[in-house]
Amino acid sequence: MSDPAQTTSQIQNELLAEVQAELARRNTSQVTRKPPPPEPEQDSVSPLVASALLACLAILAGTGVGLSLGYGASPDDAAASLDWLQRGSAGAFARALHWHGANLMVLLCGAYVFWLVWRGLYRKPGQARWWRAGLLLVLVVGFSLTGQFLPYDQNALHGTVIRLGYLAEAPLVGDWLRRLATGGGESGSAALARFFSVHVIILPAMLLLLLRGLWGDARYSGGWLPMAGVSAVVVVLLSVVSLLFGAPLGLQGNPGEPFPQARPEWFALSLYVLLKALPSGLAQQLALFGPPLLALLTIGGLPFVEAAADQPARLHKPMRMAAIVGVVMLSGLTLLAVWEDHKAKAGWFATDEMDKLMAQVGRRNEALGHSTHPLPANAHGPARDIRLLSIRLRGLYVNDIEEAQKAQWDKWISEMESLADEIITTTNDAERRIVRAKLRQVCADCHKLHADDEIALEPKLAVPVAQLPTRQTTAPPSAPLFDTAKLAMLSPSAIEARDLKSTRRMMNRSKFRLRDLLRAAGEGEGTPEGTPEQNYLDLREAVKLFGTHWEANQSSHADKSKWEKFMSDLQRNVDALKDARTGEDARARFNAIGKACDDCHSAGDWDEPFEWQYSDLKR
């Protein structure tokens, strides 16, 4: 028998050797069994940018679902439904988040692609991540182009019409593409349905295919805190900006109302300024379709052209240069676009003009329907427009307003705004009709003080053809137009000093008296105000004082000699009207006055455009 202690230590040693051998075998087998697949080059920034992108995407998706649940994809409903949604605090917040989130998304995508180029991370075997980033950028631009149209306000409509026009210029397929996008020629209901579907179904479906890969790209090896940190920054930044600045929603889109302020989104301003400067034809087509094609080719082909990551790079420096040049050109042209608009007070910097705003209010007032009719089902649209326009009218006074009248003006504007709002919020038709009548009363009160022009508060009702007034065919026997005794007895009405200073007021004094004379003589439609004799004396007086007007208001009239010639023509013809006889004689003399008016108006170089012609007075 051997020593038991010796035996035990021997057994222990043997066992230990076996275990060590087995461990060694396992280690080597582990190493040889699983060769790691080639990993794309890792860096610490791109996963974090991808994380921020995912957070931004989550915000867009979540708010997008909410917005789509309260949105009506039709020209009558789009802006109205979004406005209705925004009346709730969460609705305003959700839309602002979606709006600012979309802008941030474009920025982040651009930054992501830039970073991948900068670090050469497009090289094999990292090409899949590069392609995903490029595709994401393309999709995001697609989301933006379709999403811009959905509010269907003036900017959305007119901007999209311009963009579709450019699209149609694409060689071969352009017109087909435009018709595919719009479902016809007009950018109206069919186009809106298509854009909506692309924005909420087709593009999101394509994005879902990318999402798995993006999720992998955002995997970050340096702890979870930086990843959560960038996501938190995105959420906080967007929330704060959205609480401070809501998403814009302008006047309801109207293809018949021009909107020269239409501008593309900020990221397309560079293209906008370029297209403005280039002659149409080949140069424009190159500028329009060259950069996108080049970008697509670069995204697709760069990993094939460039050497793999384990070999010396060939294109790294040129690509870096191209990226810098691209960013500099993009921002330079963008700044140029903004600066040009700022200088010309156009686009974002356009200032409001009283006459245009008033004409816009007038059209919306008509759209609210005749007072004898119930309000139309789409009254929400014009009512909201009147509210928006009255906000712009506050503090914007007519030229010759007196200081004391400004408070009253603001009060009227406020009333206008709140009454327009009541039309939206009131459910009962009878009450809405009362509100509509009050709104028109505010317009009438204000116009009585601030405009000589009469305004039509009610829309014109269609008159059946059978009821149209028939013109008298047999001429009545001719008689003197004016009673000479009355002419001698009466004297012209006094003209206020402020009228004497204002071209517009003097013009209107003459214009309306001439209109009343035409009406009294059966040459114009409507009931004349006052007696023909008084009207004639007032017209003659206005024209006489108007003749001396050049001295009072030189800035309006470029050339004194021209002015005096037109005025003496007018005065001579007005004087000649005194002896007119009814019928053909009066018509000829009226036409001579009318010709004097039209000649002067069409002479050009006056610094205010003329909105009426002699023929308008007869209507």
Partner 1 sequence: MPKARTQPQQPVPEQPDRREFLRVVVHGGVLLGATAVGGVAVWQQSGGESIVQAVLPLAAMASLSKLERGAPARFEVTLARRDGWRVVNRSRRVYVTRVAGGETPESFAAFSAICPHAGCEVELAGKQYVCPCHQAKFDEAGAVTAGPAPRGLDPLVLTVQDRDGQPWLHVAWQDYVIGTEERTARTT
| Residue 237 engages partner 1 in binding (rule: CB under 8 A) | no
- Distance of alpha carbon 208 from alpha carbon 449, whole angstroms: 62
Say how many Å lie between the first and final Cα of the chain, rounded. 139
Site map (CB under 8 A) of partner 1, residues 156-195, x = contact: ----------------------------------------
Shortest separation between residue 555's beta carbon and partner 1, angstroms: 47
Number of amino acids touching partner 1 (CB under 8 A): 58
Which residue stretch of 170-178, 299-307, 373-381, 400-408 sits at the interface with partner 1 (rule: CB under 8 A)?
A: 373-381
Q: Which of 15, 88, 276, 290 binds partner 1 (CB under 8 A)?
A: 88
Which residue stretch of 222-230, 332-340, 441-449, 552-560 sits at the interface with partner 1 (rule: CB under 8 A)?
A: 222-230
Name the token pair of 554.
């030189």
Q: Which of 1, 2, 30, 35 binds partner 1 (CB under 8 A)?
A: 35
Q: 227 near 220, Cβ under 8 Å?
A: yes
| Residue 432 engages partner 1 in binding (rule: CB under 8 A) | yes
The residue among 310 and 579 lying less far from partner 1, judged by its C-beta, is 310
- Distance of alpha carbon 537 from alpha carbon 232, whole angstroms: 78
Q: Which of 121, 136, 150, 379 binds partner 1 (CB under 8 A)?
A: 379
Which residue stretch of 70-78, 278-286, 351-359, 584-592 sits at the interface with partner 1 (rule: CB under 8 A)?
A: 70-78
Shortest separation between residue 124's beta carbon and partner 1, angstroms: 11
User: Vertex 164, ends 159 and 170: CA angle to 5°?
Assistant: 140
For residue 153, give the 3-state DSSP assignment: strand
| Residue 378 engages partner 1 in binding (rule: CB under 8 A) | yes
- Distance of alpha carbon 515 from alpha carbon 533, whole angstroms: 13
| Residue 428 engages partner 1 in binding (rule: CB under 8 A) | yes
The residue among 55 and 164 lying less far from partner 1, judged by its C-beta, is 55
The residue among 38 and 184 lying less far from partner 1, judged by its C-beta, is 38
- Distance of alpha carbon 119 from alpha carbon 124, whole angstroms: 13
The count of other CB atoms within 10 Å of the CB of residue 182 is 21
Q: Which residues pair with 153 in a beta bridge?
A: 252
Name the token pair of 160.
């999209």
Shortest separation between residue 41's beta carbon and partner 1, angstroms: 15
| Residue 248 engages partner 1 in binding (rule: CB under 8 A) | no
Length in residues, the chain = 619
| Residue 489 engages partner 1 in binding (rule: CB under 8 A) | no
Shortest separation between residue 54's beta carbon and partner 1, angstroms: 5
Q: 102 near 141, Cβ under 8 Å?
A: no
What are φ and ψ of residue 581, in 5° steps? Answer: -110, 150
- Distance of alpha carbon 11 from alpha carbon 570, whole angstroms: 133
The residue among 229 and 583 lying less far from partner 1, judged by its C-beta, is 229
- Nearest CA to 295 out of 120, 138, 116, 102 is that of 138
User: Vertex 142, ends 138 and 144: CA angle to 5°?
Assistant: 115
| Residue 227 engages partner 1 in binding (rule: CB under 8 A) | yes
Name the token pair of 558.
């470029």
| Residue 145 engages partner 1 in binding (rule: CB under 8 A) | no
| Residue 94 engages partner 1 in binding (rule: CB under 8 A) | yes
Q: Which residues contact 160 (CB under 8 A, 6 or more apart)?
A: 148, 149, 187, 191, 195
For residue 366, give the 3-state DSSP assignment: helix
Site map (CB under 8 A) of partner 1, residues 36-65, x = contact: xxx------------x--xx--xxxxxxxx
| Residue 80 engages partner 1 in binding (rule: CB under 8 A) | yes
| Residue 375 engages partner 1 in binding (rule: CB under 8 A) | yes
Cα dihedral: 401, 402, 404, 407 (round 10) = 20
| Residue 429 engages partner 1 in binding (rule: CB under 8 A) | yes
Name the token pair of 424.
């939206």
The beta-strand segments (E) located in 351-507 are none
- Distance of alpha carbon 42 from alpha carbon 87, whole angstroms: 47
Which residue stretch of 78-86, 498-506, 546-554, 560-568 sits at the interface with partner 1 (rule: CB under 8 A)?
A: 78-86
Shortest separation between residue 38's beta carbon and partner 1, angstroms: 7
Site map (CB under 8 A) of partner 1, residues 98-127, x = contact: ---------------------------x--
What are φ and ψ of residue 394, in 5° steps? Answer: -70, 130
Positions touching partner 1 (CB under 8 A) are 35-38, 51, 54-55, 58-67, 69-70, 72, 77, 80-81, 83-85, 87-91, 93-95, 97, 125, 216, 218-219, 223-224, 227-228, 231, 234-235, 374-375, 377-380, 426-430, 432
